[in-house]
Every structure is written in C-alpha cells, then in structure tokens.
Structure 1
C-alpha cells in the first residue's frame, strides 16, 4: 500500500465515523489496520509489527521490526534507555 492509498483509506474510515456508519472502536481498528499494513508493506521496512511491554511503562509500545530482538532494540532507542521487556508479541494481521 502506498502513502496516498493509506491516506485515502484513513479518510474513508473517518468519513464513515462522521456519517455514523461506524463507531469509534471500528474506526480505530480500521485506521490501525491501514497503518500496520502501510508500515509492514513499505518497501524498506522490516516485516512485522511487535508489541513490547515493560514493567516501567503502563502502556506497551508497538514498533515495526525484523525480529523480537530488533523490536526490543527499537523500543530502547525510542525511550533512550535500556529496557527489560516483560513480553514481546508479534502482531499478525
């Protein structure tokens, strides 16, 4: 999916929400699906989304990475500190 297609799909999801054709939960899932598809199909991007949970953070972080180890490293880079993940889960479509 290219960037323009992703933006159009997000716009369609928002329009359906505004028109009352979709509730917030459905809209969030649709937009998340578009983003995840775009991120994992992007030509130079690694191939999967991973949810990384740590004891220090209430919310998990989701990153696109080539492997669980790469996901851990990406989260550590985002947080600018070493982390000890409590869970790393590959998110499948």
Structure 2
C-alpha cells in the first residue's frame, strides 16, 4: 500500500465516523488496520521490524533497511530498551 492509498483509506474512515455511520471504536480499528497494512506492505527499500523483549519495546514496529538499523532505531526511540530482538514483519 502506498502513502496516498493509506491516506485515502483514513480519510474514508474519518468521513464515515463524521457521518455517524461508524463508532469511534470502528474508526480506531480501521485506521489501525490501514497503518499496519501500510507499514507491513511498505513500498521501497525499507522493511517493517517488530521488537520483542523488554516491556518498553515489546511490540514496537519500526521501518529500517536492515535488522541492525532496526535495532538502532528502536534504541533511538526508547531510552531504556533492556534486552530485545527484532524480527521482520511478514
């Protein structure tokens, strides 16, 4: 999914919420789903990586060109990472 498609999907979800045909929970689910799809089907040289391990980083997803770069990005985002691993999101 490219950025424009993701933005269109989010705009459609917002319009449905504003029209009253969707609850806030539905809006959140749709937007979260769009963002997850965008991140995991990212077009370009980057890959989504999910961190596992320490409470502060568990489940964090970053985009990076390699596993090493993904670890560095997680460490840049979270001050006390503890021990963790990163795996590519398929």
**TM-score interval, smaller chain:** 0.5 to 0.7
Alignment TM-score, normalising by the size of structure 1:
0.63
- 1:11 maps to 11
SS of aligned partner of 1:28 = helix
* Structure 1 position 76 matched with structure 2 position 75: yes
Structure 2 distance, partners of 1:88, 1:44, is: 17
Alignment TM-score, normalising by the size of structure 2:
0.64
SS of aligned partner of 1:5 = helix
Residues 25-71 of structure 1: CA deviation (Å, up to 9, x unaligned): 1111111111122222222221x45265644x4x964434565x765
- 1:37 maps to 37
Aligned CA distance change for structure 1 residues 72 and 25 (closer, same or farther; 3 Å): farther
Long gaps (5+) in structure 1: none
Structure 1 distance, partners of 2:22, 2:49, is: 25
